[in-house]
Amino acid sequence: MFASIVSPCPTTPVRAAVVDAHGVVVAKKPSLIRRLFRGIWRTIVTLYAVLLIVMLLVVPVGLYFAFFSGPSMVVEKDTALVWAPTGDLVEQHSRGVGNLVGSLVTEPQRQSVVRDLIEALDRAADDDRIKLAFLKLDELGGAQPGQVQDLVAAIDRFKQSGKPVVAWSPSYGQSQYALASHADTVYMDPFGYVFIPGYGVFRNYYKDAIDKLGVEINVFRVGEYKSYVEPFTRNDMSPQARAANQTWMNSLWQIYREQVSAPRDYQAQHISDYIDGFPQALSRAGGDAARVAADAGLVDEVASLADVRDAMREQVGSDESHGSFRQIHHVEYLNATDAEQPAPRTESRIATVVVEGAIVDGESVPGQAGGDTIARMIANARRDDHVAAVLLRVNSPGGSVTASERIREQVAATREAGKPVVVSMAGVAASGGYWIAMNADEIWAEPSTITGSIGIFGIVPTFSKPLEDLGIHTDGVGTTALSGAMRLDKPLSEPVKMMLQAGVEHGYDQFVGRVAEARDMQEDAVRRIAEGRVWSGADAERIGLVDKLGGYVEAEKATAKLAGLGEGDYAIELMQPPADWRTAIREFLSSHVESALVPDWFAQVGDASALDWLRNGMNDPRHLYAHCFCALDTGAPAGRSVVAPQQSVE
C-alpha cells in the first residue's frame, strides 16, 4: 500500500515521493514534460561539446592544409636554394593544436628550427639540381652564438661540395653577418650597414623599487658567482658577477671574431678595429655606412636588390612565374625531397628529445620545458625496443631543481638500461641545463655554447608590509612553530630561513657530488669550477665539463657510433609530447592569451626574462632553483615579424 507524503517544512521545496510496502521512500518519476526538456538540454550540451571539439581539432587542421599545403613542389635543374631563416632560431617547433587555435587570435611568432636549416643545406650539397645557395638573412631574429656556429658549419659543408654561396640582406646585424661572412659573395643594399657591437650582459635591478613597495625578497644561495638573484637584492652588478661575465663574454667574442675572419682576407683584430672606429669612419664617409663596410672588406658588393636578382639570373636563369631567378625556398625544398630520402636499412631509431626554454615543474608549454613531459619522453624512448639510443638536444638556462633532477634520473636510467645517451648543447645549457646533461655518455657543445653555472639558489618574496599598508593584517594560531611559516603574507622567521638555507646548501652539495661522479672528477676540482660560474663551450671542454666540441650533426654521428649503427642504418625520431585537449588549452593560454592582452610596448619594457621567470618559472615545490642568467645583449636590430616564409627574393 502506498501513501503520498509531503515535507512539513514550509521553506523546503515540495517534492513528490512515495513509500513502498517495506517503508522505503521511493522518488516519484519526473513528469513527461520535465523529462522532455531535460533531454533537450542534454542534447544541446552534447552538440556544444562536439562543436568545441570540431573547433579545436578540425578547423585548425583545415586551416593548416589550406594555408601551408599546396601542389607538390618539383626541384628543377640549375635551381638556387633560398636559405632564409625567419624569426628566432629554436630547436623544436611547438606543433600542438593549442598553437594552431591561438594563431587565429594573435599573429603567430615566426621561428626557424636549427635542424631544418642544417638539413636543407646538407641535402642540397649532394643534389645535382641545386646549383648554389642564396642566404636570405633579412628576416633572421634572435640567435644564440652556439646555434649560429651550428649553421656556419652547415654553410661550410655546403661550400665543400664546390657550389657557390651568396649572401644578401639590406643590412647585417651580428648574427646575420656571422652567417654571411662564410659566403663566397656578400651583397648589401646601398642604404645598408654592418653593425657588430659585440656581446654584453645588461639587466634591470629592482632593489630600490622593491624596498619602496615594502616587499621582502628572501634569498638563499650557494656559489660566489650565482648572480641570477642580484636584480632583486642589489641596484647594480656585483664585482664577482662583473668579472665572471667579462671572462666568458671575452671568450665568446674571440671565437666570433675568429669565426668571421676565417673565410675573409683579414685578421680577427680587424673586427674590433672596425667597430671601435665605426663612428669616426662613418663621419669621414659622410654617413654612408655601406661604403664604410665595403672599404673595410666586410661586404663584397654594394648593390640594389634588382642588381642582385640580375646577378643571380646569370647563374641559374629566370623563373617567369614570379619574375625572379630560378629558386626554391628551403622549407619547400625539404618538403619536396623528403620522399627522395633513402629508407634506413634497419628498424633502429635514434630518439631525439629537445629541452627548450626554462625547466619548470610539471608539463611543458611553448617556451618552457616541463620536467614531467621531458622525463616521460625519455622513459618512452627507453622502453621502445626500436630505439637504439637517445640524443638530448638542450637549449636551456635551467630552472627548477626538482624538475631537473627528474629529467636527470631518466637519463641515468636510460644509460643503465644499455641505451647510449648523448647530449648536444645548443646556444645555452647552463645550471639546470647542465644538471640534466651530466649523466650522458657524451656531452657535445659548440665553442660558443654557454654552459656551467653549477650553483643553487632559493628565493621567497613576502608581502606583509604592503598588505599592512593597505590595512590587511595576518593573524592566527597553529599547532607547531612551523604552522603557516611559508605563508607569503607573513615575514619568514629565522628558523624558516635557516631551514631554507640548509636546503640550498644540501642541493648544492648534491649538484657538485653528482657532477663529480658523472664526469669522473674529484669533488674539490668540481667545486673550483662551480659556484655558479658560467663558461663558454671551449673553456668547458678544457676543464672537463664537456667531452667534445661540435654541433648537432657531430653529436648525431657520435650517438649512432655508440649504438653500433652505421650511416643509413637508422632513422631519427623526434619525440613529441602527446597532444590532448588539456595540452591544447595549456598551449593556447601560455602562448596567446597573454600576448593578446598585454601591449607589445609594455611587454618589451624592462628585464623581460627576470620578470617572466618570477611570474611563471617559480614553481619548484622545494623553492630550489638552478637557473642561469645567460641572456646576451648583442645590440642587433630585431628582425621583422612575418606570417609566412618569403617564397622569392622580390
Q: Name residues whose C-beta falls within 8 Å of residue 460's C-beta, 6 or more positions apart in sequence.
A: 217, 218, 220, 486, 488, 492, 500, 623
137 is written with which cell numbers? 638573412
Q: Tell me how far CA of residue 92 lies from CA of 151, 280, 335, 345, 352, in angstroms.
A: 15, 43, 17, 26, 10
Instruction: Give 579-586 contacts, CB < 8 A, sequence gap 24+.
Output: 579/96, 579/97, 581/53, 581/56, 583/96, 583/97, 583/98, 583/363, 584/56, 584/96, 584/97, 584/98, 584/101, 585/98, 586/98, 586/363, 586/365
Integer Cα distance of 473 and 464 in angstroms: 8
Nearest to 359 by CA among 441, 421, 429: 429
512 is written with which cell numbers? 657538485
Compute CA 180 distance to the chain's CA centroid, rounded to the nearest angstrom.
24
| Helix residue ranges, H only, 520-570 | 523-529, 537-543, 552-562
Integer Cα distance of 538 and 377 in angstroms: 30
151 in Cβ contact with 190 (< 8 Å): no
Secondary structure (3-state) at 7: coil
Secondary structure (3-state) at 646: coil
Integer Cα distance of 194 and 148 in angstroms: 17
590 in Cβ contact with 363 (< 8 Å): no
300 in Cβ contact with 50 (< 8 Å): no
Q: Which of 131, 136, 159, 226 is labelled catalytic?
A: 226
Compute CA 378 distance to the chain's CA centroid, rounded to the nearest angstrom.
18
77 is catalytic: no
Nearest to 81 by CA among 317, 332, 310, 307: 332
Q: Name residues whose C-beta falls within 8 Å of residue 612's C-beta, 6 or more positions apart in sequence.
A: none
| Helix residue ranges, H only, 384-535 | 401-416, 432-435, 464-469, 494-519, 523-529
128 in Cβ contact with 440 (< 8 Å): no
Q: Please name the residue that has the C-alpha cell 617547433.
A: 93
Q: What is the DSSP letter of 612?
A: H
Q: What is the DSSP letter of 633?
A: B
Give the number of other CB atoms < 10 A from CB of residue 597: 8
Q: Which of 181, 227, 431, 448 is labelled catalytic?
A: 431
318 in Cβ contact with 326 (< 8 Å): yes
321 is catalytic: no
Q: Which residues are catalytic?
A: 226, 431
